[in-house]
Copies of this chain bind each other. A is one copy, B any other.
Amino acid sequence: MIRTADGESGERKPVLVHDPTLRDGHHAVRHNLGPDQLRRYAAAADAAGIPVVEVGHGNGLGASSLQAGQARLDDDEMLSVVREALPNSRMGVFMIPGWGTVQDLKKAIAHGVDVVRIGTHCTEGDLAERHLGFLRDAGVEAHGVLLMSHMASPQRLAEECARLVEYGASGVGILDSSGHFLPADVAERIGAICHTVGVPVMFHGHNNLGMAVANSVAAVEAGAGIVDACARGFGAGAGNTQLEVLVPVLERMGFATGIDLYGLLDAADIAGRELMPAPPTIDSVGVVSGLSGVFSGFKNRVLDISRREGIDPRDVFFELGERQAVAGQEDLIVDVALALREEAHSGRPAGESRPSDQV
């Protein structure tokens, strides 16, 4: 028997759930997962029937470095451990051109990767052209995905996705990297993309505004065929869409994921016990990061600099949002902090910069 919201059975639209717990979750633990952790979670995910398990450094293939954080295991180790633990599930990897290269893709192919995602900033899909072309020629399933997608209009995202398909992507999609979207925002963007391309469309949410599950549902209702979610929401800051919550919600709404509920809960329990010190929660910085549309990876540096300069880190986030800061532009934090300190010293009433009515 299938329990749906209204007790009906019938034709259930399939949704492919893609699980980046062992990749995006890495951000929350400084890329420090060891072989037993990878093996045990991957085996549990496989047993639950999760279709795709993604693994790697948080920033993807080739990203382990002083700048992005040194991973405990190198790509070869991660890929071989997880490949072996997945007799049924497909193995996915993620790569951002610049961090990773064609050499890294060849390595992943040698390890038997099934799905490769190439990620670029939402307005820079052209950076994925060479890698998507290489993967198409190599006969490997390749998807193109757009980061920080709240920074482009629905129309622009659709155009970028169409370009990714031309380059060879057999799937495209958007990441809500700073957790800024509300469900209507997601529906509009996914709808525009589905209207434009003829390949499966994916959505990847973050929970800064408590909307990760609702946004993912909105994506599926707007036509997305692939949604990302992580066990216990494992991920940086406020975390990702919570996998073991999303799956039964989709099933109850009449979609078919093919995932076993109890196996899924077992995998999530393993993740909760063995992968993370504590599951992500939405703290005040997470809320401000989501509202301002600034990647939560800026958090520690914003807090440090704000303390040093005696200014409110929330003001820094909102100003970074105004200036459209993206990852890699951490230098902007100092500029913003100095500007805010100037303003404060110029005698303006202290409360005036507080966006009390700017929520």
Contact = CB atoms under 8 A, between A and B. Distances in A.
A5 interface: yes
A210 B2 CA distance: 21
Contacts of A185: 5
B213 A265 contact: no
A303 interface: no
Interface string A328-359: 00000000000000000000000000111111
Interface stretch (A54-62, A63-71, A112-120, A279-287): A279-287
Given A182-B249, A182-B252, A210-B214, 18 more contacts: A209-B249, A210-B212, A211-B249, A213-B214, A214-B214, A232-B281, A244-B287, A245-B287, A252-B359, A260-B356, A262-B354, A263-B356, A265-B288, A269-B283, A269-B284, A272-B283, A280-B281, A281-B281
A130 interface: no
Nearest to A212: B210
A100 interface: no
A248 B359 CA distance: 5
Contacts of A241: 210
Interface in A254-279: 260-263, 265, 268-269, 272, 278-279
A261 B182 contact: no
B245 A210 contact: yes
A175 interface: no
Interface of A: 1-3, 5, 182-185, 207, 209-214, 217, 232, 241-242, 244-249, 251-253, 260-263, 265, 268-269, 272, 278-284, 287-288, 291, 312, 314, 354-359
Q: How many copies does the complex hold?
A: 2
B358 A3 contact: yes
Contacts of A269: 283-284
A280 B2 CA distance: 30
Contact of A3 (B5, B260, B359): B359
A209 B287 contact: no
Contact of A265 (B3, B211, B245, B314): B314
Contacts of A279: 281-282
23 contacts: A3-B291, A3-B355, A182-B253, A210-B210, A210-B213, A210-B246, A211-B213, A214-B214, A242-B282, A245-B282, A245-B287, A248-B287, A248-B291, A261-B359, A262-B312, A262-B354, A263-B356, A265-B284, A272-B283, A278-B281, A279-B281, A279-B282, A280-B281
